[in-house]
A and B are shown apart, each in its own frame.
Chain A
Amino acid sequence: MEIIDRLSAGDPEKRCYYINLFLEVLEPELKRMQADDILTGANQEVLRQILHKLKSQVQTIGEHETHQSMNALELKISKGQRAEAYELAPIIEQLTVLIGNLQQQL
């Protein structure tokens, strides 16, 4: 959240504006990630696209651990390997916690 703090410079309205910008993408993409075809591993390319889209955003917010997990899974799919449900579950959990934290700050 360092960059958001720096940009909003103590202005709570600006802080909400930046948090909402990220939430507008994080929330729908998390829902896409929780769809049946993604959870069952039937749609690996869509999962790779979602991971790619979200990883730079969580990195900008400062969630380095989540970024690393997403990056590793995206790389795995890019190499033609299959992302397993047990690998996706912690990412979904971390994203859910992140979104909850962001919503609390609004």
Chain B
Amino acid sequence: MSKNLKIALVDDDKPNMEVLHDFLVRSGYHHIEKYYNGEDFLKSLHLHDDRAVVLDYHLSESGGMNGLEVLEKIKHASPNTHVIFYSGQDSLDIAVESLKCGADDYIVKSAAGVVLLKTAMDKVYQIQVLKSKEKRSQILSWTFVTLWILTILAFTIFR
């Protein structure tokens, strides 16, 4: 089943990125974009971004932004964006800091991590589905109320 969730992978580690990409595609996620550094990803970031972001902590050997800096910019521009850290950095301090900054989850890179990340993505997808159902139900309620008011108005005018 194809899942309608857009995902951005931000990582400079090509083999892990490809493995993760292919695993997510096999799990039904077909709208995936890949970015090899934080700067390129941020250029693509826009207000109310509806993509879920998978972010590595260590994004560059040559002094570019790290994952936490990218996370802060994402949350500043688009606070509701879901961000999941997927990092080789097995550090409690960085994990706690990323969660404090608004990350949804922190997963350490490994074979099991790929599966965990897919589960985290399923959660984000479920949240998105629930939000869209809620929005649809709100629209339906307002349409009903509007029609009801219009019917009463019409009844009053043409009585």
**Hey, which bits of chain A sit against chain B, CB under 8 A?**
2-4, 6-7, 18, 21-22, 24-25, 49, 52-53, 55-57, 59-62, 71
How many whole Å from B55's CB to the nearest CB in chain A?
Answer: 14
Indicate if the CB atoms of A7 and B23 lie closer than 8 Å.
yes
Across the interface, A60 reaches (CB within 8 A) one of B15, B22, B90, namely: B15
A2-B111, A60-B114 known; A22+B15 contact, CB < 8 A: yes
Chain A residue nearest to B91 (CB atoms) is: A75
- Compute how far the CA of A61 lies from the CA of B16 in the bound complex, rounded to whole angstroms: 10
Closest Cβ of chain A: how far from B84's Cβ, in Å? 16
Please state if A60 and B14 are interface contacts (CB–CB under 8 Å).
Answer: no
Partner of A56, one of B22, B23, B26, B109: B109
18 new A-B contacts at CB < 8 Å, known A53-B13, A60-B110: A3-B19, A6-B23, A7-B22, A18-B15, A21-B14, A21-B18, A22-B15, A25-B15, A52-B88, A53-B61, A55-B88, A56-B13, A56-B16, A57-B15, A60-B15, A60-B16, A60-B19, A60-B114
In angstroms, Cα B69 to Cα A69, docked, is 29
State A60–B17 Cα separation when bound (angstroms): 11
| Residue numbers in B under 8 Å from A61 (CB-CB) | 111
**In the bound complex, what is the Cα–Cα distance between A22 and B13 (angstroms)?**
10
Min CB distance, A93 to chain B, in Å? 22
Interface residues of B (CB under 8 A from A): 13-16, 18-19, 22-23, 26, 58, 61, 87-88, 90, 109-111, 113-114
- Report A-chain residues with C-beta under 8 Å of the C-beta of B19: 3-4, 7, 18, 21, 60
> With A and B bound together, what is the CA distance between A33 and B99 in angstroms?
34
A67 to B120, CA, bound (A): 24
Q: List 6 A-B contacts (CB under 8 A).
A: A7-B22, A24-B14, A25-B15, A56-B16, A59-B88, A59-B109
Closest CB-CB distance, B155 to chain A, in whole Å? 64
Q: Is the CB of B15 within 8 A of A24?
A: yes
Taking CB atoms, residues of chain A closer than 8 Å to B16 are 56-57, 60
